[in-house]
Structure 1
């Protein structure tokens, strides 16, 4: 790139600038050190699963992932060094196997949560098949392209991330690495995340309204993983993303509130709420998200259009080099470093893939969609592999490719009249498989470049890629389901006269308990009905009046004696043991049927609902990913915004139902165009508009830390990508994300009992000094609005200071010690 830097998109973060690569492999073809070993495949698979889980967490939270190649390579060298000795080629296999998980995670976590928004559930089988088939498709199509793109184009295609990984492996072979920094970051990030998300020692998000500007708020999450992301992506992209959040929360939301506060009728929302009655988050969900979606879609398409000359040229050159490499005939002796899997594997595998995509029942893909997957998959894998070679994974417009696939697929469906709910499911599956294939194709090309530089055997590396794809695919869907179910909430929500559009065979049992006390009696004890409902909901109990008494409801079975001994500690009121106020006895169980609302002909939002025997909706099962209810009875619910999934659902629903609010979408379109005319990359900015400002703020802080470290420390751009700051940030990301997954598992495994048991403010109560302090500064309804913010900000400042000091004073992983004799 002769003129300026390439456009930055947010699907991947950059790892290294392109720099010269040796023309001779580090390990000569005549040498045959240990390479494809069982322990290498096992270690690579385990690390791939860990970083895939981390990538899933990031993708549903902020819509991006961080490359796992360098952290996996560093950890592989350190672990094998602790176990004895390993070869550079064995470490290359570990790095290759481990990096496959991250490339799958982005496609799966960016697309499949859209099913929840469209009124479906995420199936483990569907998630596994989508990830596995898309990943295998990406690897298969890269096998015949390797000779042309990696070998014949060497010196022209630099593959910056692959080259950086090769540098790390070579330095590690010579005795250098700093795995302790990654491990320390992992421990700090994990413990820190567990302290606030599990133990509730301080608030997850701190913020305040802006006085003098109606509906304006400023907040930040005290998140280790988002701080690490900001450091890795650097100050420019972090600042652009945060600027989008400023536009959303300090300009657009206050403007909607200011101009709409005098309206006597709802503007776009069909739930009867007036703008003046909406909170800032409700205004964002009802109006600003559509503006952000228009900007994100435009930014993705602009990055794709900007790459069109590269795409067309890449495709033509790739086909030509493939043809030339296959017409030269087989050499009498094939060097070890030139041995690919045979072309028959590609041909037979591709045929089997087509049949599997078409015939697999969980995918619900018809023949035309299977053809679209093959056509788009072949094209975008080829394009993705070449673009990553020319300008790196950071500028590879995967989102634009998925959006383009979705738009064409939905338009084809519209022409055929396929606009039903199952057709939307099929359209999303089609785009998801293509996106996973394209993402994995680019990552596979980087891995093949790494092996080319260090002297690996392509055939063995391709086998490792298949292993990495299949092992990671087995767990990616599970992580997605865990995170969603761990944050799913069953909220009372009646819709009289509205029926669900599709019933399922699943049911949920509700356990009831009669509490022989009236609300008047509780009021005399100093407890209002609102305080009581809040306190009971904190224990996962709902309450309704029933025949002069109260009925308590729970979705988990609780012995009546255990419930009688439950002590409530409401805010600003006395504690109350249930049995002291009235007898608690077990009542009859109720069974609700699960049903789904889908389609355009209903006023009820798409989603999963519980209905009674008469078919009336009584509860909404609001998902943790993309859920629309963020607070209930004073309790903040954990929600993952999944910005890419929201966009994909919006495209599918908007085109096939033809009910998109184009006024707001077009505002986002022109905001993106304005930024491009100003020379600013619109996609990171648009993602900032789409994200809560609490998510983009810690990213901005991490970017600023990187800015000052780079100014003070100096060094080349390539060296800085495996500097101690980047390694510590990788540890923060992995540790914080894995802790989040672990907390979700604890929530599901015990139906919330284990997470309540480690909730220290609730455990200590507020009637003693320690408990009063924890409730005042921790995640509690009793939290002091000022001191809890100061307390959380202090912890975040310490976390930031540790990153800054490590980045500034630590030893670079690129520095190899002199060889010992």
Structure 2
């Protein structure tokens, strides 16, 4: 037990309201800090540090969710960092460290809900407004915390022996070990520093090739490459070899089977095939993927989500019945004296707070939600917060199938809208807003329950944790919205296009924007997918004729953008013609592809006469696979205008994998994502397999625990690489890429594929060495519950 003497803090003033009655079963568990002691807990420094760490991990989670459609729990890395930071500035109590991880974990859960849903507005042709993003994050996050309060003693206390909350229990173990002197924070910090520096040297400094690729000359359309980043390597290590291999299999199917098949059969076609508007023989492998394979992947992802949800249905129904019972018990108030470790925020806060949130959702002008969808949000919110909390208790928050719950919400909402005749443009936005708030609430509800389990094991005061969670929601919501908008803006491109049909007058706004040709144009948003103009954002002239397409950085489909050469250069012999394209000046140019030779580097160029004028620069886009799926569902139900044949091929692929006994969801995610993303994830999974094999040979744990050295280093890789990605986005957003590009000054060696493979190999070796070293600073049990589980397959299902 802790030897800390009871101390009074200013937070105790908050504890004078009525509290919930302590359940009889509470006495069966003796926490690490008994109820009779009251060490420092809800202090200002704990709240501030938790908010700061929460913002950092929230930003990395947003980047990760947009990149690959998954997130990993941040509770353990935040707990480890808190122990170390406080130890440097004077020792903190275990309950203060618990408040830090509680406050900080709210950021990761909000990031998942927001990044999974909000980019769908862009894909559906709406503006992604900053105030709407913040409002959805804030309202959904608060809803998730409030609705978990009356469920706490039912799910956490009464079900203590049945619901282990594996990640919450592992986090409690870390806090207890840190209290007694052990910590592995240097591993997390080392991983953060190594991942951060590696990513900056690769991009924006470009001292080595982070994206090596190879196109098979005798295998038309086939290509192989890797985005060799530390965050993807860390994700692969955490999700484990099975899921990483399954994702890789999906990528191999897409890039080495489907794309070559489409290229082979489309080689002799003289007309474009819907939904593309250019000839297949003129497309690169990535263009074929964006025009055709993405729809196949989306159909597979949707089917995998339904299968996952169907498997969880018995648990969902059981959880809901239990939740209703626990909600009633949680509503009982008592003025009797109760132990500190059983004090919740008053039930009146839940009731009045929920009613207040209902009113805000209904009346907030930026949401534009009518009363019926607002009521649906509250009903779905309570249902899925209950379900999410119980599932988290069984398999952890990283494995929580939040996207499956969101798909169910979206389907039911869209079908209800369809039955009521609400199929207009504004109703599609309302359906997405409904699902987005529920998604955030469910994600935060599961994380809240996990934090409360950690607190239950270490002897925290639930009321103070709930206050910390509310603070974490508010601070993280503001930053998450800014991060999402910033990333989109940093990678947004403007490309000249010609459409015969003008943009409808109703779609044109008063907003003005300067185009690459130096002229100002009006901005229009095409959200109706039924016309001759696809959904999206456009720049139009006075007559409404489209001049430019504003391709978003999140979910964008333009793989490259013209960049003017310093001076026109002659076209080398052997250049291959690839059709025509408009330049930034809206003049038509021939497109050529150069392998090597002459004054032009390898790549595609826009040519006038016999001179290259522009180089087509490859543009990084964030795929946002979950948001693409949600946009597909809304348009599919409310407009019924999609390339359904491609979608159904994806459905059948997922069904086939299930019949083969392979989990269809990670496979489908692999089909949807670029192969270059799956490659480093697969390498991370392979390293995890080698580490587990070595540990078994050394008669250590048969599988890595949540807080083992390899997992902690991977968490550092993820955070460091993602934050460096934000720095690179900042450089791109301010147009300073040339100033930071050191590689071009050093010659061809930095742009070779070998340079990237060697650099990546170094951090792979470092991960293996750390993963196989003896685990001497963390371990032990906390609160009488099993410590840690392998998160095999966790993140890919979320």
| Alignment counterpart, residue 593 of structure 1, candidates 519, 522, 546 | 522
1:731 and 2:716 are equivalent in the alignment: yes
State the distance in 2 between where 1:482 and 1:394 align.
Answer: 26
1:800 is matched with which residue? 764
What per-residue deviation string (whole Å, max 9, x for no partner) do you get for residues 572-597 of structure 1?
Answer: xxxxxxxxxxxxxxxxxx32211112
State the distance in 1 between where 2:425 and 2:761 align.
Answer: 48
SS of match in other structure, 1:221: coil
State the distance in 2 between where 1:313 and 1:816 align.
Answer: 33
| Alignment counterpart, residue 725 of structure 2, candidates 726, 734, 740 | 740
Q: How does 1:243-322 map to 2 (within 5 A)?
A: 243-271=249-277, 273-322=278-327
State the distance in 2 between where 1:666 and 1:275 align.
Answer: 21
State the distance in 2 between where 1:102 and 1:717 align.
Answer: 29
State the distance in 1 between where 2:308 and 2:530 align.
Answer: 35
State the distance in 2 between where 1:812 and 1:466 align.
Answer: 36
SS of match in other structure, 1:658: coil
More divergent stretch after superposition (637-646 vs 200-209): 200-209
CA contact under 8 A between 1:722 and 1:813: conserved in structure 2?
Answer: no
State the distance in 2 between where 1:41 and 1:394 align.
Answer: 24
Structure 2 CA distance for partners of 1:789 and 1:253, relative to 1, 3 Å: same
Q: How does 1:88-237 map to 2 (within 5 A)?
A: 88-237=94-243
**1:324 Cα shift?**
4.1
CA contact under 8 A between 1:723 and 1:812: conserved in structure 2?
Answer: no
State the distance in 2 between where 1:326 and 1:404 align.
Answer: 28
2:338 is matched with which residue? 334
2:61 is matched with which residue? 55
What per-residue deviation string (whole Å, max 9, x for no partner) do you get for residues 526-569 of structure 1?
Answer: xxxxxxxxxxxxxxxx6xxxxxxxxxx45xxxxxxxxxxxxxxx
State the distance in 1 between where 2:777 and 2:60 align.
Answer: 22
Structure 2 CA distance for partners of 1:339 and 1:496, relative to 1, 3 Å: same
1:562 is matched with which residue? none
| Alignment counterpart, residue 532 of structure 2, candidates 588, 603, 624 | 603
State the distance in 1 between where 2:690 and 2:43 align.
Answer: 43
State the distance in 1 between where 2:530 and 2:226 align.
Answer: 38
**1:412 Cα shift?**
1.4
Q: TM-score, normalised by structure 2?
A: 0.85
Structure 2 CA distance for partners of 1:218 and 1:131, relative to 1, 3 Å: same
1:698 is matched with which residue? 680
State the distance in 2 between where 1:249 and 1:698 align.
Answer: 16
**1:300 Cα shift?**
0.7
SS of match in other structure, 1:484: helix
CA contact under 8 A between 1:724 and 1:813: conserved in structure 2?
Answer: no
CA contact under 8 A between 1:48 and 1:98: conserved in structure 2?
Answer: yes
1:344 and 2:342 are equivalent in the alignment: no
State the distance in 1 between where 2:514 and 2:701 align.
Answer: 61
CA contact under 8 A between 2:501 and 2:533: conserved in structure 1?
Answer: no
1:720 and 2:705 are equivalent in the alignment: yes
State the distance in 1 between where 2:87 and 2:150 align.
Answer: 35
Structure 2 CA distance for partners of 1:655 and 1:101, relative to 1, 3 Å: same
State the distance in 1 between where 2:38 and 2:168 align.
Answer: 22
Structure 2 CA distance for partners of 1:22 and 1:45, relative to 1, 3 Å: farther
1:474 is matched with which residue? 478
State the distance in 1 between where 2:114 and 2:643 align.
Answer: 27
Q: TM-score, normalised by structure 1?
A: 0.83
More divergent stretch after superposition (706-715 vs 497-506): 497-506
1:422 and 2:426 are equivalent in the alignment: yes
SS of match in other structure, 2:510: strand
SS of match in other structure, 2:150: coil
State the distance in 2 between where 1:37 and 1:144 align.
Answer: 24
State the distance in 1 between where 2:109 and 2:354 align.
Answer: 20
Structure 2 CA distance for partners of 1:208 and 1:812, relative to 1, 3 Å: farther
**1:505 Cα shift?**
2.4
**1:22 Cα shift?**
9.5
State the distance in 2 between where 1:81 and 1:73 align.
Answer: 12
Aligned pairs, number: 698
**1:420 Cα shift?**
2.1
Q: How does 1:544-559 map to 2 (within 5 A)?
A: 553=517
CA contact under 8 A between 2:150 and 2:329: conserved in structure 1?
Answer: no
CA contact under 8 A between 2:494 and 2:548: conserved in structure 1?
Answer: yes
**1:76 Cα shift?**
0.3
Q: What are structure 1's unaligned runs of at least 5 residues?
A: 1-20, 511-541, 543-552, 555-589, 765-769
More divergent stretch after superposition (385-394 vs 155-164): 385-394
State the distance in 2 between where 1:396 and 1:106 align.
Answer: 11
State the distance in 1 between where 2:647 and 2:138 align.
Answer: 34
**1:471 Cα shift?**
0.5
1:66 and 2:72 are equivalent in the alignment: yes
1:573 is matched with which residue? none
**1:815 Cα shift?**
4.7
1:447 and 2:376 are equivalent in the alignment: no
More divergent stretch after superposition (803-812 vs 140-149): 803-812
1:680 is matched with which residue? 662
**RMSD between aligned alpha carbons?**
1.9
State the distance in 1 between where 2:207 and 2:395 align.
Answer: 44
2:625 is matched with which residue? 643
More divergent stretch after superposition (356-365 vs 624-633): 624-633
CA contact under 8 A between 2:287 and 2:559: conserved in structure 1?
Answer: no
State the distance in 2 between where 1:419 and 1:194 align.
Answer: 46
SS of match in other structure, 1:361: coil
SS of match in other structure, 1:362: coil
1:711 is matched with which residue? 693
SS of match in other structure, 2:366: helix
CA contact under 8 A between 2:150 and 2:326: conserved in structure 1?
Answer: no
1:659 is matched with which residue? 641
State the distance in 2 between where 1:27 and 1:312 align.
Answer: 35
State the distance in 2 between where 1:386 and 1:367 align.
Answer: 29
State the distance in 2 between where 1:52 and 1:136 align.
Answer: 16
CA contact under 8 A between 1:270 and 1:603: conserved in structure 2?
Answer: no
SS of match in other structure, 1:504: strand
**1:466 Cα shift?**
0.2
1:628 and 2:557 are equivalent in the alignment: yes
**1:688 Cα shift?**
0.4
SS of match in other structure, 1:99: helix
State the distance in 2 between where 1:449 and 1:811 align.
Answer: 25
**1:670 Cα shift?**
1.8
What per-residue deviation string (whole Å, max 9, x for no partner) do you get for residues 636-668 of structure 1?
Answer: 111111111111111111111111222221221
**1:808 Cα shift?**
1.8
